[in-house]
Amino acid sequence: MRAALHNVRLLFRYRDLIRNLVARDLKVRYKNSVLGIVWSMLNPLGMMVVFTVVFTVLLPNNGVERFPIFILCGLLPWNWFTGSVMGSVYSVVGSASLVKQVYFPREALPLSVVLANLVHFLIALVVLFVVMAFFHTSLTAWALLLPVVIAVQFVFTLGLAFFLSAINVYYRDTAMVLDVLLLAWFFLTPIFYSMDIVPQQSVILGYTLPVQRLGYILNPMASLIASYRVILYHGGPPAFDFLLRTVVTSLGALALGYLFFRRASRSFGEVL
């Protein structure tokens, strides 16, 4: 615990470096782009239009009202998550010269990636709020819990970012494997469909399993997106049991990912 607090203080001491790394990521992403950071809003807006056309015009029997709000509540957190984990894979390898020449807490590299994608997520929320206003959907008092859900997702994503950024130093094909895993994860997460269409129970290999419940328990992103959706789409309170379980899972992911990163970072300079 004392070592963890020391490392947190060290990261705070290097906050200017982290801020510069975040700014660098934001500048590089939209370098030579005419609209620049405005694409953080246009990109999810375009994806919302595509999903809406597919699932309300071409496949109109989805039974979801105000589908643009529904899809954005799942798509925006997912984009933040995938952008962070994919970006973090190259965060250490891409800064090899910096790692080998200058001392600084290596955790700043994946942390800056997650923070940069958080900025994009917060900007993209403007699109969601505009669409909610268009459909006359008002925020309720439960929206005050939105920062809590964002914080939980940040912790979970950062834990994975620590792990993936470290393991890619030693196994450079991590990104290729992750591409496949994220595609499968996307379809297993209720982003463009409602979890209500998943059966409550199903018989698998002779065992009756609570499939819908396991879909939340085994998939933290499903619980997080459900929380976003309940707060913003339904205007109600999140399922606190699932949210609490996701908090525990996220803290566990952060602890394991950070410990793995700290141990692996001792030989980053030699491997890179």
pTM of the prediction? 0.91
Mean pLDDT of the chain: 87
Report d(CA 152, CA 141) in Å as an integer: 19
Q: How confident is the model at residue 272 (pLDDT cuts 50, 70, 90)?
A: low
CA separation, residue 23 to residues 63, 105, 107, 154 (Å): 42, 18, 17, 18
Identify each DSSP E strand in the chain by its residue range: 202-204, 207-209
- Sequence-distant (6+) residues with CB within 8 A of 114 are 84, 88, 154, 157, 158, 161
Share of the chain above pLDDT 70, in %: 93
For range 237-246, the mean pLDDT:
85
Burial class (CB in 10 A: 0-12, 13-18, 19+), 73: buried
Residue-wise pLDDT for 115-148, tens only, equals 999 999 999 999 999 999 999 998 999 999 999 9
For range 232-255, the mean pLDDT:
90
At 36 the pLDDT is: 66
**Ramachandran bin of 32, using left for φ above 0, alpha for ψ from -120 to 50, beta for the remaining angles:** left
CA atoms within 13 A on the CB side of 238: 26
For range 165-189, the mean pLDDT:
92
User: Of 25-34, 77-86, 197-206, 210-219, which has the strongest mean pLDDT?
Assistant: 77-86
